[in-house]
Structure 1
């Protein structure tokens, strides 16, 4: 298959496809006598795996170690271990995001509770002092 066909099937730019080939994620690409690349049919599957995995939070380095050189030679236990680890990473990130969200909601509530007679700058100082981030006013 030509790169234009692969790009159309995967909705990836040809430059992105060449990049994945260059960094070793897309293998088994042949060069024709005229210098054009020829992609095997499984390249579509590999590219879809790459984009799906990236959306799930896998880095290119993680993908490089995860994807087999031959799509028929998956290391089942390593694949499961990697997927379980990514789930744990996402759960940790969810906890951190939830804590950050809660803190921001607290700050937001404190800012919205600005006394009528206080200007915004003094209110910011008041809120910051509640979180130990500013000098308390006397």
Structure 2
């Protein structure tokens, strides 16, 4: 299939397809006599896997290591191990994001608890002091 049809089937721009091909994620397409690229039907599956993997947080280098030369020959144990590592990375990130969110929410609460008669400059000093930060003048 030509690159235009592949782009239509995958929802990707032709430039993205050429990029993935140049990075070695997608097999180099054969060329027709007129010079047009001719992609095999499995290119749709490969590009879908690449897109899904990127959305799941895999880098292009990780995806390249993960993709077998032939899509039908996945290394089961290596694939499972890689996916489990990514799940662990995501869980670690979730913990860190939850902590960051709680910290920011407490900071918002602290800032918003400004006494009515306090101006912003004094409130900023109050917030900074409550965080244990000292500012040398």
TM-score bucket (shorter structure): over 0.9
Is there any run of 5+ residues in structure 1 with no aligned partner, and where?
none
**3-state SS of the aligned residue for 2:48?**
helix
- Whether the 8 Å contact between 2:21 and 2:28 is mirrored in structure 1 is no
CA distance in 1, matches of 2:28, 2:135: 63
- Whether the 8 Å contact between 1:125 and 1:134 is mirrored in structure 2 is no
Equivalent residue number for residue 50 of structure 2: 50
Equivalent residue number for residue 108 of structure 1: 108
TM-score if structure 1 supplies the norm length? 0.94
The offset of 1:132, in angstroms, is 2.1
**3-state SS of the aligned residue for 2:123?**
helix
CA distance in 1, matches of 2:44, 2:57: 20
**Matched ranges for 1:29-108 at <5 A:** 29-108=29-108
The offset of 1:125, in angstroms, is 1.8
The offset of 1:40, in angstroms, is 0.4
The offset of 1:28, in angstroms, is 4.7
- How many residues of Structure 1 are paired with residues of Structure 2 in the alignment? 136
Is there any run of 5+ residues in structure 2 with no aligned partner, and where?
none
The offset of 1:133, in angstroms, is 2.8
TM-score if structure 2 supplies the norm length? 0.95
The offset of 1:135, in angstroms, is 3.2
**3-state SS of the aligned residue for 1:35?**
coil
CA distance in 1, matches of 2:28, 2:14: 17
The offset of 1:116, in angstroms, is 0.7
- Whether the 8 Å contact between 1:3 and 1:38 is mirrored in structure 2 is yes
The offset of 1:131, in angstroms, is 1.1
